[in-house]
Amino acid sequence: MNAMEQSKASSNNIHAYGVLPFYQIHFIIKSNGKTYGELLLARTRKKVTGVVNKRIEDVWWEGGKIADRLNNDTRLKELLMHVLKDEGDIFIDPTDNAIRIYSRFKAEHELNLSKEAIEAFNIIAGHVKQMIKEFE
């Protein structure tokens, strides 16, 4: 097989999908995230029962010091019991020049945020901002 035939054979196996219609919503807090590192790194965990009709029984945070603060917020826990059904786990991730709060990727037709989800993300951002002020 010569080079031209190899090129044709390999191009027949290439599947170009292009841009997929999946999105991830990020809430951004401008700050030097690297300064705080693991103190602000956290994610939710949940205890789920049922296989078909899944029900969230408990929600908690794992991670740095911010996790302890978030675990003590009863209003946030109430909201997360409802929000995590649609959002999946929520992550707090410090980067070079910001702190990101985000959940899972969603298909284009699933892309929406409930009022409860927005309230939960705002409460989380408030705790992150308060913790940043304490460390400055």
User: 66-118: per-residue pLDDT in tens?
Assistant: 999 999 999 999 999 999 988 889 999 998 889 999 999 888 888 888 899 99
Burial class (CB in 10 A: 0-12, 13-18, 19+), 118: middle
Q: Is residue 10 predicted with pLDDT exceeding 80?
A: no
Q: Who's near 20: CB < 8 A, 6+ residues apart?
A: none
Does residue 136 register a pLDDT over 80?
Answer: no
- Render pLDDT for 34-80 as a digit per residue (tens, 0 to 9): 787 888 999 999 999 988 888 899 999 999 999 999 999 999 999 99
Mean pLDDT of 3-28: 66
Q: Is the pLDDT of residue 2 over 70?
A: no
14-30 burial code (b ≥16 CB/10 A, e <16): eeeeeeeeeeebebebe
Does this model's pTM top 0.85? My answer is no
Q: Which of 29-33, 77-81, 119-123 has the lowest average pLDDT?
A: 29-33
In eight-state DSSP terms, residue 39 is G
CB of 121 closer than 8 Å to CB of 101: yes
CA distance 74 to 64: 19
Name the more confident of 58 and 32.
58
